[in-house]
Amino acid sequence: MAERLQKILSAAGVASRRTAETLIEQGRVTVNGKTVTALGTKADAGADDIRVDGRRVKAAGRRRYILLYKPRGYITTRSDPEQRPTVIDLLAKGGVREYVYPVGRLDYDSEGLLLLTSDGDLAAHLTHPRHGIEREYEVRVKGVPDAHDLERLSRGISLEGRRTAPAAVDMTKVVDAESGPQALLSFVIQEGRNRQVRNMCDAIGHPVVRLRRVRIGPITDDRIRPGEFRDLTPGEIASLRTPARADRQRPTAPPPRTAPAARSPRSPGDGRRRRG
């Protein structure tokens, strides 16, 4: 059955529909040997030879939904021209062979929860601003922001000529460090601008010392450790498809703790953690 190319690429896990459209416009997609640049082009995934950058696109099969704790020092991408380690390297070491890609980003120096999937439609849902998917971070900053600083962060900060959306920002603790006092902040945002939290903290004069993402929408897991990953449960996947509510999203409880998984491919949704 003929379908739009961007839908085929998304269903096959190559990229989200929006990114697939960019690939088409850049002339990186071919159908039966001919380069296609028109977004309205249709093809049959079962009959046509569809390729992206010369690599044949396989028809959509089993979709994978993975929750990874990204350690610091890893790039949130499938490959890096500077040959730095990527989150895909962690999954490959743990036995993941399916073509998955990160949903959103985490900076090289940041850590915490990251979703990877082969489901392009869900990835588009989670990253589109209109859906208001919350991301929660634990952020340690130099110094101790005062009430005015916290109010500025909550109202929004002007970055590169555009104000950030309102955020929920609270100071949870003050700790003593060799360089002086540092504050631990809870940050909840619905945007995904590049280095947004770091840039917001820089703007109030309290640069980030450490940044960790602890929640994506309703998904949280305080038992997963840096470098570990697991498949989402069916309940967690369903919760991600539910439109965000105007109030704070209720976190989904992680699956019960289980014994360490063997290094062999697993069925999706079994909830076991793997170390890359």
Query: Active-site residues: which are they?
Result: 107
Please name the residues in contact with 209: beta carbons below 8 A apart, sequence gap of 6 or more. Answer: 140, 141, 142, 177, 182
What tokens does 208 get? 């980030």
DSSP state of 131: G
What's the 3-state SS for 169-204?
A: EEEEEEEEECCEEEEEEEEEECCCCCCHHHHHHHHC
| Residue (of 237, 198, 195) closest to 219 by Cα position | 237
Q: Which run of H or of E encompasses 51? A: strand 50-52
What tokens does 99 get? 């073509």
For residues 95 and 91, what is the distance between their CA atoms, to the nearest angstrom?
Answer: 6
Give yes or no for a contact between 91 and 125, defined as CB atoms under 8 angstroms apart.
Answer: no
Please name the residues in contact with 11: beta carbons below 8 A apart, sequence gap of 6 or more. Answer: 45, 60, 120, 121
| Residue (of 75, 13, 68, 96) closest to 232 by Cα position | 68
